[in-house]
Amino acid sequence: MSVINEMLKDLESRKSSTEQAQQPDFRKSTSQVWLSRLLPTVTLLVAAVLVYWIWFAPDVETNRETILTVQPTIALEQASQAQSDQEESIVKPNVDESTNGIGATAPTSASGRPPAATDEVKADIPAPSRGYFDVIANAGKTLPVKEQTEAVEVTPPVERIPEVAPIVKETASPKQVEKVVSKPSVVQKRMTAKELIEIQLNEAREYSANGRFADAEARYKAVLRRQPTNSDARVELVALYNQTERHSMALQEIDGGLRVTPSQPELNMIKAQLLLGQGDVNAAWLALQAVNESQVQDDGFFMLKAGVASQMGDHQSAYASYVGLTNREPGTSRWWLGRAISAENIQNIEDAVSSYKIALEKGGLSPASTQYVMHRLNTLGLR
């Protein structure tokens, strides 16, 4: 029994010791007590410092406003320096070169405003970029009276900046700014066929003048493919063939043009000249016969036709051609001489004598022709 009692006592003692070890101690330590007392005091001190910082430290606000005031000026200096590098070869402002423009002021008129730039200067100054005008617009804004006074009291740690903002602000009006920043519009205009032909024709003439005959020929042919009735291109191409002694190609080109315009006087006249150069008088005469004389304005056509008719023995046609020439140019003695000879060949003696006399009166004949006229008048017995 005693043993059991001792065991029970031992268990109870162990149980009580375990419960005493597991129960927490809710008593506060000394450090926790001081921390709880110190924390409100620190909070009040921080709040007091913040209130003093906000309401009783104007120098901080002044510095902030001063920095804001200086920042547009620094940006203005950078933009002005970039612009002055572009304008240095065109316009030199009135700035002391020894100090690189620092501290320089713009010339003013009697009213205190900078003088307006002349038209010549405006035309020479290159247009500034859009960002440049944005900096100028922001830099031109003024601070309130209080902020200006405070900004003067605090000296910012920056270099002295030239006062160039009023000059640019005076010369660059809002209309000019709007005109500069507007994007240029590109209008694509398609060339007409007439304009393209004119360009190719001018290129062909330039190539021909520079001796680039192959390029000139290609341009002339391009024009004729677009406009087969272009007589200028065809005549110039024929002249190019003649210059390079390609006479057969010249005749082929003329025939191609005559198929388009059969009675074209200029082409028939050129064809007759080429055929006469080859000794084919009959073909030359046929080419001239195809022309309607009422459409001809060139005296050279009648002179050529009269000469070919004389070689062909067709004196009546030659006489008709010379009559037309004397009617067109009555002051030319050569036409009167040709008319007199043709009239004598068709036995029109009266008109022949009259034409011989007029030829002598007009003058300008060579000594041999003058002697021939006098001989014919003596022969006819009317000297």
Where residue 369 sits, what CATH number does that domain have?
Answer: 1.25.40.10
Greater model confidence, 136 or 165: 165
**Cβ neighbours, 10 Å, residue 86:** 12
Q: Do 290 and 326 belong to one domain?
A: no
| 147, pLDDT greater than 70 | no
CB atoms under 10 Å from CB of 323, counted, come to 19
Compute CA distances 103 → 171, 173, 277, whole Å: 20, 25, 87
Mean confidence (pLDDT) of the chain: 72
Cα Rg of the chain, angstroms: 55
Query: Residue 9 has what DSSP assignment?
Result: H
201-229 pLDDT per residue, tens: 999 999 999 999 999 999 999 999 999 99
Say yes or no: 212 and 248 in one domain.
Answer: yes
Residues 67, 120, single domain; the answer is: yes
Neighbours of 104 (CB within 10 A): 16
Q: How confident is the model at residue 32 (pLDDT cuts 50, 70, 90)?
A: low
Placement of tokens 């006098």 in the chain: 374
User: How far apart, in whole angstroms, are the C-alpha atoms of residue 274 and residue 283?
Assistant: 10
How many residues are given for the chain?
383
Is 276 among the domain residues? yes
Q: Which amino acid is at 211?
A: G
Q: Kindly state whether residues 322 and 231 are assigned to the same domain.
A: no
Both structure tokens of 339: 């008319």
Prediction pTM value? 0.47
CB of 202 within 8 A of CB of 173?
no
Q: For residues 14-38, b (16+ Cβ closer than 10 Å) or e, as one string?
A: eeeeeeeeeeeeeeeeeeeeeeeee
Range of the domain at 317: 298-383
| 243 and 170 belong to one structural domain | no
**Domain check: are 313 and 354 in the same one?**
yes
DSSP codes joined into one string, 289-316? HTS-GGG---HHHHHHHHHHHHHHT-HH
Q: What angle do CA 268, 271, 277 make, to 5 degrees?
A: 145
Q: Mean pLDDT across the stretch 63-77?
A: 50
d(CA 171, CA 344): 88
The pLDDT assigned to 30 comes to 61
* H-assigned helices in 88-192: 119-124, 130-139, 145-153, 165-171, 174-181
Q: Is residue 369 part of a domain?
A: yes
Is 353 a member of any domain? yes
Are 383 and 377 within 8 A, CB to CB?
yes
Does 31 reside within a domain? no
Please give the residue that has the higher pLDDT: either 114 or 358: 358
Count CB neighbours of 204 within 10 A.
Answer: 24
Q: Which of 105, 166, 100 is nearest to 139 (CA)?
A: 166
Provide the domain count of the chain. Answer: 3
68 and 149 part of one domain:
yes
CB 333 within 8 A of CB 365: yes
